[in-house]
Amino acid sequence: MEQRAEIGVFGGSGFYSLLENVVEAKVDTPYGPPSDSIFLATVSGRKVAFLPRHGRNHTIPPHKINYRANVWAMRSLGCEAIISPCAAGSLQVHVPPGSFVVCDQFVDRTNGRADTFFDGPIVSHVSPADTYDPTLRQIAIDTIRAHGIDCHETGTVVVIQGPRFSTKAESKWFHEAGWEVINMTQYPEAYLCRELGMAVVNIALITDYDSGVHAGAEAVTAHSVLEVFQMNAERIKKVVLDMIGKFPTDLRGLGAREGLTYSRGDGHAAGDKDIRLFELLP
């Protein structure tokens, strides 16, 4: 198989374990190695790249993931769209464990992560106002519901540094802010996809109520999270593979690249020397 892909999926080995004729490819990037090899397969006639963001054996904690290498690797293979499912906690009682949330906003509460490709001398300010693609979000919503899964059409995910979970005070703070979901990996992963002109959609798999959100709920532990995640994992595999077959034929028509048109910080109009990082990739 040619080492090219149209659609990328950040997720565990469970996705490509369902597929035949999977090719393992090692990809180098200017930012170091990605979390693992990238696994290439054909799904519903589309070329797809799968990358386990924590490594195939879940050996990389969220604060140590090389997000820039992961995203660059996907883009270097030709990906124009990314599906980014993640395990997450609920910050609101009406978002129960076992449900899926198709997030439309994020709040960054991480620190010290390398979170941009634009370190100079080209200065760019890419807007994160609407990071998640509306067309792909609607496909996700429709597919989740078609599979009979409780789906929340919108939600704000607050991204914490990890690997620790929230204290009860922090959880109460996030809850009172009105945010729905808490996770450790959506930032900078989703935003970096936007910086390289790729459309991105997130599906948050709710595993638990975060500490202090629901009266009587136990404090979250890794064991309880993984228990519910195993149930969700079987469902998200089918949802993601089904979604791929519904993606638009022309992924560039989603307009992710156009979102970078007015991002330069030097004030000059675009010209022959106005080179952007994503244009250097295939």
Q: Is 182 in contact with 174 (CB distance < 8 Å)?
A: yes
Strand partners, 109: 160
Question: Active site residue: 210, 242, 250, 266, which one?
Answer: 210
- Cα three-residue angle 208-211-215, rounded to 5 degrees: 90
From the candidates 133, 150, 208, 266, give the one annotated as an active-site residue: 208
210 is catalytic: yes
Buried b (16+ CB within 10 A) or exposed e, 256-282: bbebbeebbeeeeeeeeeeebbeeeee
Determine the distance from the C-alpha atom of residue 57 to the mean position of all C-alpha atoms in its chain, rounded to a whole number. Answer: 19
Look up 274 and say whether it is catalytic.
Answer: no
CA–CA distance, 98 with 102 (Å, rounded to integer):
13
User: Please, what is the end-to-end C-alpha distance for the chain in angstroms?
Assistant: 17
Q: Does residue 219 contact residue 211 with C-beta atoms inside 8 Å?
A: yes
- Integer Cα distance of 51 and 221 in angstroms: 26
Cα 81 from Cα 251, distance rounded (Å): 7
CA distances for 239 relative to 64, 100, 134, 142, angstroms: 28, 11, 17, 10
Catalytic residues: 208, 210
